[in-house]
Chains A and B, each alone.
Chain A
Protein backbone atom coordinates (compact mmCIF):
# COMPACT_ATOMS: atom_id res chain seq x y z
CA UNK A 1 0.00 0.00 0.00
CA UNK A 2 1.52 3.31 -1.07
CA UNK A 3 1.51 6.14 1.41
CA UNK A 4 -0.12 9.26 0.11
CA UNK A 5 1.88 12.43 0.47
CA UNK A 6 -0.12 15.61 0.66
CA UNK A 7 2.12 18.49 -0.27
CA UNK A 8 1.86 21.32 2.19
CA UNK A 9 2.34 23.95 -0.50
CA UNK A 10 4.62 26.96 -0.30
CA UNK A 11 5.24 28.29 3.20
CA UNK A 12 3.08 31.19 4.29
CA UNK A 13 6.07 33.55 4.36
CA UNK A 14 6.76 32.89 0.67
CA UNK A 15 3.19 33.72 -0.26
CA UNK A 16 3.31 36.81 1.96
CA UNK A 17 6.37 37.90 -0.02
CA UNK A 18 4.48 37.37 -3.29
CA UNK A 19 1.66 39.56 -1.96
CA UNK A 20 4.08 42.29 -0.91
CA UNK A 21 5.75 42.12 -4.28
CA UNK A 22 2.50 42.28 -6.26
CA UNK A 23 1.20 45.27 -4.31
CA UNK A 24 4.61 46.94 -4.46
CA UNK A 25 4.63 46.69 -8.25
CA UNK A 26 1.30 48.46 -8.56
CA UNK A 27 1.93 50.95 -5.73
CA UNK A 28 5.70 51.63 -5.66
CA UNK A 29 5.59 54.29 -2.90
CA UNK A 30 3.48 52.22 -0.52
CA UNK A 31 4.43 50.88 2.90
CA UNK A 32 3.13 47.31 2.93
CA UNK A 33 2.60 44.93 5.82
CA UNK A 34 1.45 41.36 5.23
CA UNK A 35 0.71 39.08 8.20
CA UNK A 36 -0.02 35.34 7.63
CA UNK A 37 -3.00 34.13 9.65
CA UNK A 38 -3.14 30.42 9.03
CA UNK A 39 -3.16 28.44 5.76
CA UNK A 40 -4.12 30.73 2.88
CA UNK A 41 -5.29 33.55 5.15
CA UNK A 42 -3.56 36.91 5.45
CA UNK A 43 -4.02 40.35 6.93
CA UNK A 44 -2.73 43.33 4.98
CA UNK A 45 -2.03 46.94 5.87
CA UNK A 46 -1.07 49.34 3.08
CA UNK A 47 -0.10 52.97 3.63
CA UNK A 48 0.05 55.16 0.53
CA UNK A 49 -0.67 58.79 -0.34
CA UNK A 50 -2.52 57.56 -3.41
CA UNK A 51 -5.39 56.53 -1.11
CA UNK A 52 -6.10 60.15 -0.25
CA UNK A 53 -9.66 61.16 -1.09
CA UNK A 54 -10.73 57.69 -2.23
CA UNK A 55 -13.73 55.86 -0.75
CA UNK A 56 -12.96 52.78 1.28
CA UNK A 57 -14.20 50.59 -1.57
CA UNK A 58 -11.95 52.29 -4.12
CA UNK A 59 -8.96 52.07 -1.76
CA UNK A 60 -9.51 48.35 -1.31
CA UNK A 61 -10.05 47.80 -5.03
CA UNK A 62 -6.54 49.22 -5.60
CA UNK A 63 -5.02 46.57 -3.38
CA UNK A 64 -7.24 43.65 -4.44
CA UNK A 65 -6.61 44.53 -8.08
CA UNK A 66 -2.89 44.03 -7.51
CA UNK A 67 -3.34 40.53 -6.04
CA UNK A 68 -6.18 39.21 -8.26
CA UNK A 69 -3.92 36.59 -9.84
CA UNK A 70 -2.81 35.31 -6.41
CA UNK A 71 -6.45 34.77 -5.46
CA UNK A 72 -7.72 33.29 -8.72
CA UNK A 73 -8.68 29.69 -9.36
CA UNK A 74 -9.24 26.65 -7.14
CA UNK A 75 -5.57 26.33 -6.09
CA UNK A 76 -5.00 29.99 -5.35
CA UNK A 77 -2.17 30.51 -2.82
CA UNK A 78 -4.16 33.31 -1.20
CA UNK A 79 -7.49 31.96 -0.05
CA UNK A 80 -8.78 34.96 1.87
CA UNK A 81 -7.79 38.37 3.14
CA UNK A 82 -9.17 38.46 6.67
CA UNK A 83 -8.49 42.12 7.13
CA UNK A 84 -7.38 44.85 4.73
CA UNK A 85 -6.49 48.23 6.15
CA UNK A 86 -5.76 51.12 3.78
CA UNK A 87 -4.12 54.16 5.35
CA UNK A 88 -2.96 57.56 4.23
CA UNK A 89 0.51 58.54 5.57
Chain B
Protein backbone atom coordinates (compact mmCIF):
# COMPACT_ATOMS: atom_id res chain seq x y z
CA UNK B 1 0.00 0.00 0.00
CA UNK B 2 2.48 2.62 -1.16
CA UNK B 3 1.94 6.36 -1.44
CA UNK B 4 -0.54 7.21 -4.18
CA UNK B 5 0.72 9.81 -6.67
CA UNK B 6 -2.42 11.93 -6.26
CA UNK B 7 -2.17 11.94 -2.45
CA UNK B 8 1.54 12.75 -2.67
CA UNK B 9 0.65 15.70 -4.87
CA UNK B 10 -2.12 16.82 -2.51
CA UNK B 11 0.20 16.76 0.52
CA UNK B 12 3.00 18.52 -1.36
CA UNK B 13 0.59 21.31 -2.28
CA UNK B 14 -0.72 21.65 1.27
CA UNK B 15 2.72 22.04 2.81
CA UNK B 16 3.91 24.19 -0.06
CA UNK B 17 1.12 26.75 0.08
CA UNK B 18 0.82 27.19 3.85
CA UNK B 19 3.69 28.24 6.07
CA UNK B 20 2.50 26.22 9.07
CA UNK B 21 0.42 23.07 8.58
CA UNK B 22 -0.77 20.74 11.31
CA UNK B 23 -2.05 17.34 10.23
CA UNK B 24 -4.33 16.43 13.13
CA UNK B 25 -7.45 14.65 14.29
CA UNK B 26 -10.28 17.15 14.30
CA UNK B 27 -9.70 20.84 13.74
CA UNK B 28 -8.38 23.82 15.62
CA UNK B 29 -11.71 24.61 17.25
CA UNK B 30 -12.47 20.98 18.11
CA UNK B 31 -9.46 18.68 18.31
CA UNK B 32 -10.56 15.03 18.43
CA UNK B 33 -7.62 13.57 20.32
CA UNK B 34 -5.51 14.57 23.30
CA UNK B 35 -2.22 14.76 21.41
CA UNK B 36 -3.71 16.95 18.69
CA UNK B 37 -5.31 19.16 21.35
CA UNK B 38 -1.96 19.60 23.08
CA UNK B 39 -0.25 20.80 19.90
CA UNK B 40 -3.16 23.11 19.06
CA UNK B 41 -2.91 24.57 22.56
CA UNK B 42 0.73 25.44 22.05
CA UNK B 43 0.32 26.79 18.51
CA UNK B 44 -2.73 28.87 19.52
CA UNK B 45 -0.58 30.66 22.03
CA UNK B 46 2.12 31.49 19.51
CA UNK B 47 0.42 31.98 16.15
CA UNK B 48 -2.66 33.92 15.03
CA UNK B 49 -3.16 31.76 12.00
CA UNK B 50 -2.06 28.34 10.85
CA UNK B 51 -3.54 25.70 8.55
CA UNK B 52 -4.91 22.44 9.90
CA UNK B 53 -5.85 19.26 8.03
CA UNK B 54 -8.37 16.95 9.68
CA UNK B 55 -7.18 13.44 8.84
CA UNK B 56 -10.42 11.99 10.21
CA UNK B 57 -12.25 13.62 7.28
CA UNK B 58 -9.60 12.55 4.78
CA UNK B 59 -8.60 8.89 5.19
CA UNK B 60 -6.32 8.99 2.17
CA UNK B 61 -4.32 11.72 3.88
CA UNK B 62 -4.40 9.91 7.20
CA UNK B 63 -2.46 7.01 5.65
CA UNK B 64 -0.67 9.15 3.07
CA UNK B 65 0.94 11.59 5.49
CA UNK B 66 2.41 8.72 7.50
CA UNK B 67 4.12 7.37 4.37
CA UNK B 68 5.03 10.87 3.17
CA UNK B 69 6.70 11.85 6.46
CA UNK B 70 8.06 8.42 7.35
CA UNK B 71 6.29 9.01 10.65
CA UNK B 72 3.69 6.63 12.06
CA UNK B 73 1.57 8.91 14.22
CA UNK B 74 -0.77 11.92 14.08
CA UNK B 75 -0.49 14.89 14.82
CA UNK B 76 2.31 16.03 12.51
CA UNK B 77 3.58 19.59 12.24
CA UNK B 78 5.07 21.03 9.05
CA UNK B 79 6.76 24.44 8.95
CA UNK B 80 7.86 25.95 5.62
CA UNK B 81 7.49 22.56 3.95
CA UNK B 82 9.61 20.67 6.47
CA UNK B 83 8.42 18.05 8.94
CA UNK B 84 9.10 19.28 12.47
CA UNK B 85 7.66 16.51 14.60
CA UNK B 86 4.75 15.09 16.52
CA UNK B 87 3.27 15.96 19.91
CA UNK B 88 6.22 14.82 22.07
CA UNK B 89 8.74 16.70 19.98
CA UNK B 90 6.63 19.89 19.83
CA UNK B 91 6.26 19.83 23.63
CA UNK B 92 9.99 19.30 24.06
CA UNK B 93 10.83 22.11 21.66
CA UNK B 94 8.36 24.44 23.39
CA UNK B 95 9.85 23.58 26.77
CA UNK B 96 13.41 24.16 25.57
CA UNK B 97 12.57 27.37 23.70
CA UNK B 98 13.52 25.92 20.29
CA UNK B 99 9.97 26.14 18.96
CA UNK B 100 9.91 29.95 18.70
CA UNK B 101 12.77 29.90 16.24
CA UNK B 102 11.27 27.04 14.27
CA UNK B 103 8.03 28.99 13.87
CA UNK B 104 9.75 32.30 13.25
CA UNK B 105 8.05 34.06 16.17
CA UNK B 106 9.34 36.13 19.06
CA UNK B 107 9.67 34.18 22.32
CA UNK B 108 6.74 34.76 24.64
CA UNK B 109 7.76 37.44 27.14
CA UNK B 110 8.04 35.75 30.50
CA UNK B 111 5.54 37.19 32.94
CA UNK B 112 5.93 36.37 36.61
CA UNK B 113 2.24 35.96 37.48
CA UNK B 114 0.82 36.93 40.87
CA UNK B 115 -1.50 34.11 41.89
CA UNK B 116 -3.75 34.19 44.95
CA UNK B 117 -4.55 30.94 46.71
CA UNK B 118 -7.02 30.66 49.60
CA UNK B 119 -5.88 28.68 52.68
CA UNK B 120 -8.41 25.95 51.87
CA UNK B 121 -7.21 25.75 48.27
CA UNK B 122 -3.58 25.72 49.41
CA UNK B 123 -4.28 22.75 51.63
CA UNK B 124 -6.12 20.89 48.86
CA UNK B 125 -3.27 21.60 46.40
CA UNK B 126 -0.61 20.42 48.87
CA UNK B 127 -2.58 17.24 49.38
CA UNK B 128 -2.90 16.64 45.64
CA UNK B 129 0.83 17.19 45.18
CA UNK B 130 1.67 14.83 48.03
CA UNK B 131 -0.69 12.16 46.76
CA UNK B 132 0.01 12.26 43.02
CA UNK B 133 3.32 14.04 42.71
CA UNK B 134 6.86 13.05 43.50
CA UNK B 135 9.44 11.56 41.15
CA UNK B 136 9.92 14.92 39.44
CA UNK B 137 6.18 15.43 38.89
CA UNK B 138 4.83 18.75 40.16
CA UNK B 139 1.69 20.88 40.19
CA UNK B 140 1.01 22.64 36.88
CA UNK B 141 -1.52 25.34 36.11
CA UNK B 142 -2.45 25.86 32.47
CA UNK B 143 -4.67 28.66 31.17
CA UNK B 144 -5.95 28.01 27.66
CA UNK B 145 -6.81 30.46 24.90
CA UNK B 146 -10.37 30.79 26.20
CA UNK B 147 -9.03 31.56 29.69
CA UNK B 148 -10.19 28.29 31.20
CA UNK B 149 -7.81 26.99 33.85
CA UNK B 150 -6.53 23.43 34.13
CA UNK B 151 -4.62 21.92 37.05
CA UNK B 152 -2.43 18.88 36.47
CA UNK B 153 0.58 16.99 37.81
CA UNK B 154 3.41 16.65 35.32
CA UNK B 155 7.19 16.83 35.04
CA UNK B 156 8.80 20.28 35.07
CA UNK B 157 10.07 21.57 31.71
CA UNK B 158 12.95 24.08 31.28
CA UNK B 159 10.60 26.86 30.15
CA UNK B 160 8.19 26.56 33.10
CA UNK B 161 7.55 29.68 35.17
CA UNK B 162 7.29 29.18 38.91
CA UNK B 163 4.63 30.90 41.04
CA UNK B 164 4.93 30.38 44.80
CA UNK B 165 2.08 31.36 47.11
CA UNK B 166 0.86 30.15 50.52
CA UNK B 167 3.61 27.56 50.42
CA UNK B 168 2.29 26.08 47.17
CA UNK B 169 4.55 25.86 44.11
CA UNK B 170 2.69 26.11 40.81
CA UNK B 171 4.38 25.70 37.44
CA UNK B 172 3.05 27.43 34.32
CA UNK B 173 4.18 27.27 30.70
CA UNK B 174 5.10 30.75 29.35
CA UNK B 175 1.81 31.20 27.50
CA UNK B 176 -0.30 30.26 30.52
CA UNK B 177 1.86 32.49 32.72
CA UNK B 178 0.99 35.51 30.54
CA UNK B 179 -2.71 34.75 31.02
CA UNK B 180 -2.56 33.99 34.76
CA UNK B 181 -1.48 37.26 36.39
CA UNK B 182 -4.00 38.18 39.08
CA UNK B 183 -5.69 34.79 39.14
CA UNK B 184 -7.19 33.60 42.42
CA UNK B 185 -7.81 29.98 43.35
CA UNK B 186 -10.32 28.87 45.95
CA UNK B 187 -12.22 25.68 46.67
CA UNK B 188 -15.96 25.23 46.75
CA UNK B 189 -18.34 22.43 47.57
CA UNK B 190 -20.19 20.89 44.65
CA UNK B 191 -22.59 17.94 44.56
CA UNK B 192 -19.60 15.87 43.37
CA UNK B 193 -17.35 16.93 46.23
CA UNK B 194 -14.72 19.61 46.54
CA UNK B 195 -13.68 21.45 43.38
CA UNK B 196 -11.21 24.20 42.62
CA UNK B 197 -12.72 27.52 41.65
CA UNK B 198 -10.53 29.81 39.57
CA UNK B 199 -11.27 33.47 39.01
CA UNK B 200 -9.30 35.06 36.17
CA UNK B 201 -9.62 38.85 35.78
CA UNK B 202 -7.81 38.65 32.42
CA UNK B 203 -10.58 36.67 30.74
CA UNK B 204 -11.90 38.97 28.00
CA UNK B 205 -15.54 39.94 28.13
CA UNK B 206 -17.80 41.26 25.40
CA UNK B 207 -17.80 45.05 25.61
CA UNK B 208 -20.78 47.29 24.90
CA UNK B 209 -20.84 49.95 22.24
CA UNK B 210 -23.65 52.50 21.92
CA UNK B 211 -24.81 53.51 18.44
CA UNK B 212 -23.45 57.00 19.12
CA UNK B 213 -20.03 55.52 19.88
CA UNK B 214 -20.28 53.39 16.73
CA UNK B 215 -21.04 56.48 14.65
CA UNK B 216 -18.04 58.26 16.13
CA UNK B 217 -15.85 55.25 15.38
CA UNK B 218 -17.01 55.07 11.76
CA UNK B 219 -16.58 58.83 11.30
CA UNK B 220 -13.03 58.71 12.66
CA UNK B 221 -12.03 56.75 9.56
CA UNK B 222 -10.44 54.07 11.68
CA UNK B 223 -10.55 50.66 9.96
CA UNK B 224 -12.76 48.34 11.98
CA UNK B 225 -14.42 45.01 11.38
CA UNK B 226 -18.15 45.81 11.58
CA UNK B 227 -20.10 42.57 11.31
CA UNK B 228 -23.83 42.24 10.67
CA UNK B 229 -25.10 38.94 12.10
CA UNK B 230 -28.62 39.19 10.64
CA UNK B 231 -30.07 37.39 7.63
CA UNK B 232 -29.57 38.61 4.02
CA UNK B 233 -33.32 39.33 3.90
CA UNK B 234 -33.08 41.70 6.85
CA UNK B 235 -30.03 43.33 5.31
CA UNK B 236 -32.02 44.04 2.16
CA UNK B 237 -34.51 46.05 4.24
CA UNK B 238 -31.98 48.09 6.20
CA UNK B 239 -28.21 48.16 6.58
CA UNK B 240 -25.55 50.18 8.36
CA UNK B 241 -22.98 51.50 5.89
CA UNK B 242 -19.68 49.70 6.24
CA UNK B 243 -21.19 46.62 7.88
CA UNK B 244 -20.39 43.23 6.35
CA UNK B 245 -22.74 40.25 6.52
CA UNK B 246 -21.24 37.54 8.71
CA UNK B 247 -21.58 34.57 6.38
CA UNK B 248 -19.34 31.48 6.33
CA UNK B 249 -16.76 33.15 4.14
CA UNK B 250 -16.50 36.20 6.38
CA UNK B 251 -16.37 34.05 9.49
CA UNK B 252 -13.43 32.13 8.04
CA UNK B 253 -11.70 35.39 7.16
CA UNK B 254 -12.16 36.73 10.70
CA UNK B 255 -11.07 33.48 12.31
CA UNK B 256 -7.72 33.75 10.55
CA UNK B 257 -7.05 37.19 12.08
CA UNK B 258 -4.86 38.03 15.08
CA UNK B 259 -6.74 37.61 18.32
CA UNK B 260 -6.45 41.29 19.27
CA UNK B 261 -8.32 42.46 16.15
CA UNK B 262 -11.17 44.79 17.10
CA UNK B 263 -14.52 43.20 16.18
CA UNK B 264 -17.83 45.11 16.35
CA UNK B 265 -21.01 43.08 15.94
CA UNK B 266 -24.58 44.23 15.42
CA UNK B 267 -27.97 42.70 14.69
CA UNK B 268 -31.57 43.98 14.83
CA UNK B 269 -31.86 44.75 18.55
CA UNK B 270 -28.56 43.54 20.04
CA UNK B 271 -29.53 40.03 21.17
CA UNK B 272 -28.13 37.83 18.41
CA UNK B 273 -25.02 39.96 18.15
CA UNK B 274 -24.34 39.51 21.89
CA UNK B 275 -24.37 35.75 21.37
CA UNK B 276 -22.17 35.96 18.30
CA UNK B 277 -19.78 38.22 20.22
CA UNK B 278 -19.50 35.64 22.98
CA UNK B 279 -18.62 33.01 20.39
CA UNK B 280 -15.73 35.16 19.18
CA UNK B 281 -14.55 35.57 22.79
CA UNK B 282 -14.61 31.77 23.04
CA UNK B 283 -12.37 31.63 19.96
CA UNK B 284 -9.80 33.72 21.82
CA UNK B 285 -10.56 37.23 20.52
CA UNK B 286 -10.06 39.88 23.18
CA UNK B 287 -11.49 43.09 21.64
CA UNK B 288 -15.08 42.19 20.88
CA UNK B 289 -17.88 44.77 20.97
CA UNK B 290 -21.64 44.42 20.81
CA UNK B 291 -23.75 47.30 19.50
CA UNK B 292 -26.45 47.93 22.11
CA UNK B 293 -29.91 48.26 20.55
CA UNK B 294 -28.71 47.10 17.14
CA UNK B 295 -29.76 48.67 13.84
CA UNK B 296 -33.08 49.59 15.46
CA UNK B 297 -31.29 51.97 17.81
CA UNK B 298 -29.21 53.21 14.86
CA UNK B 299 -32.40 54.12 12.99
CA UNK B 300 -33.88 55.92 15.95
CA UNK B 301 -30.84 57.80 17.20
CA UNK B 302 -28.40 58.19 14.35
CA UNK B 303 -30.00 57.89 10.93
CA UNK B 304 -33.83 57.97 10.58
CA UNK B 305 -33.41 57.29 6.85
CA UNK B 306 -32.57 53.70 7.74
CA UNK B 307 -35.93 51.87 7.81
CA UNK B 308 -37.16 50.26 10.99
CA UNK B 309 -38.85 46.88 10.81
Contacts and interface: CB of A to CB of B under 8 A. Distances in A.
Interface stretch (B62-70, B226-234, B241-249): B62-70
* Residue among B63, B66, B70 with the highest chain A CB neighbour number at 10 A: B70
How would you classify the secondary structure of chain B's contact residues: helix, strand, loop or mixed? mixed
A71 B72 contact: yes
Interface residues of A, number: 15
Q: Is the interface of A mostly helix, strand, loop or mixed?
A: helix
Nearest to B67: A68
Contact of A61 (B1, B2, B63, B69): B69
B1 A64 contact: no
Interface in A31-59: 56-57
A72 B84 contact: no
Contacts of B70: 61-62, 64-65, 68
A81 interface: yes
B66 A68 contact: yes
B120 interface: no
Given A68-B66, A72-B67, A61 B83 contact: yes
Contacts of B71: 60-61, 64
Q: Give the 10 A-B CB pairs with smallest separation, nearest first.
A: A65-B70, A61-B70, A64-B70, A72-B1, A71-B72, A68-B67, A57-B85, A64-B72, A64-B71, A73-B1
Interface of A: 56-57, 60-62, 64-65, 67-69, 71-73, 80-81
Given A64-B71, A73-B1, 12 more contacts: A56-B89, A60-B71, A61-B70, A61-B83, A62-B70, A64-B70, A68-B70, A68-B72, A72-B1, A72-B67, A73-B63, A81-B72
